[in-house]
Amino acid sequence: MSLYLGLLSGTSMDGMDACIVDFADDGRAQLIAQHTTPYPDNLLAELRALMHVDAVRAMPRVARLDAWLGEVFAQAANDLIERSMLKRSDITAIGSHGQTLHHDPHGDYPYSLQLGDPHRIAERTGLTVVADFRRRDIAAGGQGAPLVPPAHAALFADTTETRVIANIGGIANITILPPKNDPATPVRGFDTGPGNTLMDAWTQRHLGHAYDRAGAWAQSGQAQPDLLARLLAEPYFAQVAPKSTGPELFNLAWLQARAGDLLDTLPAPDTQATLLELSAHSLMAAIEANAPDAKRALICGGGAYNTALMQRLRALAKGMLIESTADYGIEPAWVEAMAFAWLARQTMLGLPGNLPAVTGAKGLRVLGAIYSAH
């Protein structure tokens, strides 16, 4: 038994996902236990406030939130261990991604900022923690994202067919998996653009809900071709990979700037329907352009539970099968947390966790830092 615990909170900030994974010696993985812990409302409000461009006294707030997030991530891990009835001593390490607040791999000093003090997680859980996965890849000239493609390859690659894994979180990313019998073809992947982040923000503004459950509000509106065309004209979509993005670009200020006065003339449900179309069109266009021979796309992340979005993906797929990772043994909600358990295992074994063909790094690197148990 080789148990690792994965911790994650995505850009949607919809809670802390924790899972325990058993890895066999040959790398095969089995999900043993999983749980999602919502953020406390007051912590969530402060996190969202800090991400506003006009946030004041940012540095003390960042330091405080880093410590606070470390405490709540540690509690999420402890709660899962207690629920699982497993021995704490059987868990080799926790792989904690933390909460991304800002991602900018393009500036003169590229960076990606995740909070969630790993020292506190190690102290409160009594377990070794592997964290800070992105910055080594960035230091090596990469984007630091996406990091999940090598884990996708370990979990979902097929012997004979090309597959795409599409993770639809706040931001959507794809992993293109060549057949295992074609070792000369590299695994590729990149962020395709908005997943749920714009739809969630628009829903929060107009309905006060965290997200549009199953896409029902979007389905009540009518997508507007003129607005969709303006949004799809965003230069990011035409950029060549490696590339990564985040809510720093795709936010409501971006939507207003792209839509202009058109946004003020449309019913709010029509805009929501158009944002859903934007996520579906940008994702499928990326797959079609970069993986034309793929037989199927396996969808994970919160977007897999958006019935309306899944329907649109299937309508745009042109014969490609659109399936859930649940059809292949792993519920969509847990794939990314499992990936960070996998990355923690790579680090503990002294093995690389990045793919230069994905991130653009100068070479393979062991990612993250190890914070030993007390």
Give pLDDT, residue 341.
97
- CATH dotted code for 149-332: 3.30.420.40
The confidence score (pLDDT) of residue 145 equals 96
Model confidence at 54: pLDDT above 70: no
- pLDDT score, position 11: 80
Q: Is the pLDDT confidence value at 56 over 60?
A: no
Average confidence (pLDDT) over 13-20? 92
Q: Are 324 and 335 in contact (CB under 8 A)?
A: no
Q: Identify the weakest region by mean pLDDT among 1-10, 127-136, 260-269, 280-289.
A: 1-10
Is the pLDDT at 51 greater than 90, yes or no?
no
pLDDT tens across 202-255, in order?
999 999 999 999 999 999 999 999 999 999 999 999 999 999 999 999 999 999
pLDDT on residue 48: 83
Domains 3-144+334-371 and 149-332 share a fold: yes
pLDDT, average across residues 336-351: 97
Who wins on pLDDT, 327 or 107? 327
Map out the domains of the chain as residue ranges.
3-144+334-371, 149-332
Tens-place pLDDT, residues 69-115: 999 999 999 999 999 999 999 999 999 999 999 999 998 899 999 99
Lowest mean pLDDT among 48-52, 200-204, 298-302: 48-52
CATH of domain 3-144+334-371: 3.30.420.40
pLDDT at 337: 96
Answer whether residue 133 shows pLDDT above 60: yes
**pLDDT tens digit sequence for 172-207:** 999 999 999 999 999 999 999 999 999 999 999 999
* Average confidence (pLDDT) over 56-60: 69
Q: Position of tokens 């207690």?
A: 82
Q: Which of 47-56, 278-287, 359-368 has the lowest mean pLDDT?
A: 47-56
pLDDT band at 49 (very low <50, low <70, confident <90, very high): confident
pLDDT of residue 57: 65
Burial 134-160 (b: 16+ CB within 10 A, else e): bbbbbebebbbbbbbbbbbbbbbbeee
Distance in angstroms (rounded) separating the CA atoms of residues 331 and 31 = 10
What average pLDDT does the chain have?
95
Q: What is the pLDDT of residue 53?
A: 59
